[in-house]
A = this chain, B = another copy of it.
Amino acid sequence: MASVDGYSWTPNEGLKAGIPCIGTVEPQTNIDNGSSHAYDVIVVGAGYCGLTASRDSSVAGLKVLLLEGRDRIGGRSWSSDIGGYPFEMGGTWIHWGQAHVWREIMRYQLQDEIKVSYDFSKGRNQYVQASSHGTQAFSHEEEEALTDSGLRKFFNKDGQYGKWVMPFPHSAAFTPEALTYDNMSAADRLLEIKDSLTPSERLSVETVILTWSGGTLDTVSFLEALHWWALGDYSYEGCVNRLAKYKFKRGQSAFAKLFFQEGLATSNLSYAFRSPVANVKDMENGVTVTTDNGQQYRARKMISTVPLNVLNTISFDPPLLRGKKAAVNTGHVNQIIKVHAEVRDKDLRSYTGISYPHNRLFTGFGDGTTEAGNTHIVSFGGQHNHFHPEEDIHQTTNALQGLVPMNIERLVFHNWSKDEFDKGGWYCLSH
């Protein structure tokens, strides 16, 4: 069933809004709007956070209502259902170093349903740096060595590659030293080490930080970048393993469905999709949640999983705490762009590369082979040279060709910046 989310484009069919997705829910609600049932808990948002909260609450015997603005589950992680090959429209990669995710993967016995994005055995087996000074090709071993070397210099402000200043990556209780890094942007840190990076290291480091953050070097906090590095076990290989290597054979939406179905199996889970929340009133005797179309729901408690950049579209009574409100007003800086290209060039399966700082899509790589035997290239842009891929397809294909020449048969993407339920990518802190 097609979601209204996402776009696809082919030379023959042109641009089409809406993409088939197994996470689309039909019918869009299982409740009778005439009734005025009081729930134990209303969960707002059907991404992994909301799916987990609604599943665990309904398994625990609570009467749960799940409200979601979209027509599908999964939030910022969802996969297409195009020709049997899942293009990942948002969050993609998983790893046993992601503890919460891995626990769920083992729980649903999906540990053997994982494949590796890369296949460094075919054709143009290179890391290509296209910059304003020309193009240079490296082996993937050289890619890893120069990127790791550059990132170590970047993160080695404490003389221990970040391990001293951020010894517990999962703790929110940052050391005082780490907190001072929040006043510093990635660009500030690059300035400090400008004489120690080789030109190739600098290109790699800058594009890695832009890909992690979806921001610009001027906006993203050095603390935030260091946090990713620490969560990636303080090495480039550790980061790649956790961030961009392993993915579900059958796509994120197949995973998300398991959470939803387990909740439904309890008979305690009610849901209403296409039901964006407009306001939340929390009184002594419970919470009243009103959707955009005026429908009201009541519960003892509410769990909000609404992303930071759209939390200000909901009015809360009593209002959010001052600190929370300040965070909402600041927002986060991630405006990541992710464009998939299905291309006829089999020799690009082993390609990785960057095109920076001039190109609108600054990094990309061979991410799979489609059922038709074509190569799947995934590419990223962000706030740096930001654009809207659906507005000018010629510009979008040019940005792909700017990475490496390719014969495009299909484009697939989701414009997260214009998405009314996200207004950006994953959370990324500004300095």
Contacts and interface: CB of A to CB of B under 8 A. Distances in A.
A173 B102 CA distance: 17
A61 B57 CA distance: 11
A133 interface: no
A164 interface: no
Contact of A99 (B59, B102, B114): B102
A84 to B, nearest CB: 23
Contact of A171 (B99, B111, B168, B238): B111
A112 B168 contact: yes
A174 to B, nearest CB: 11
Contacts of A106: 99-100, 170
A247 to B, nearest CB: 13
Contacts of A20: none
Nearest to A241: B233
Contacts of A116: 167
* Secondary structure dominating the interface of A: loop
Nearest to A99: B102
Contacts of A286: none
A60 interface: yes
B60 A111 contact: no
Contact of A59 (B59, B97, B168): B59
Nearest to A101: B99
A91 interface: no
A194 interface: no
Interface in A166-182: 167-171, 173
A96 B169 contact: yes
Nearest to A60: B59
Interface in A105-135: 106, 111-112, 114, 116
B96 A170 contact: yes
Nearest to A58: B60
Given A100-B103, A103-B103, A170 B60 contact: no
Contacts of A170: 96, 102, 106, 111
A366 to B, nearest CB: 18
A121 to B, nearest CB: 13
Interface residues of A, number: 23
A167 B102 CA distance: 16
A51 to B, nearest CB: 16
A112 B171 contact: yes
A418 B96 CA distance: 35
A422 B96 CA distance: 29
Interface string A159-202: 00000000111110100000000000000000000000000000
A97 B100 contact: no
Contact of A112 (B61, B111, B173): B173
A23 to B, nearest CB: 23
Contacts of A111: 168, 170-171
Contacts of A96: 97, 99, 169-170
Contacts of A114: 168
A161 to B, nearest CB: 12
A114 to B, nearest CB: 7
Interface in A216-236: 233
Contacts of A61: 60-61
Given A116-B167, A233-B233, 20 more contacts: A59-B60, A60-B61, A61-B61, A96-B97, A96-B99, A97-B97, A97-B99, A99-B99, A99-B100, A99-B102, A99-B106, A103-B103, A106-B170, A111-B168, A111-B171, A112-B168, A112-B171, A112-B173, A114-B168, A233-B238
Closest 3 CB pairs of A and B: A99-B102, A103-B103, A99-B99
8 contacts: A59-B59, A60-B60, A61-B61, A98-B99, A100-B106, A106-B170, A114-B168, A116-B167
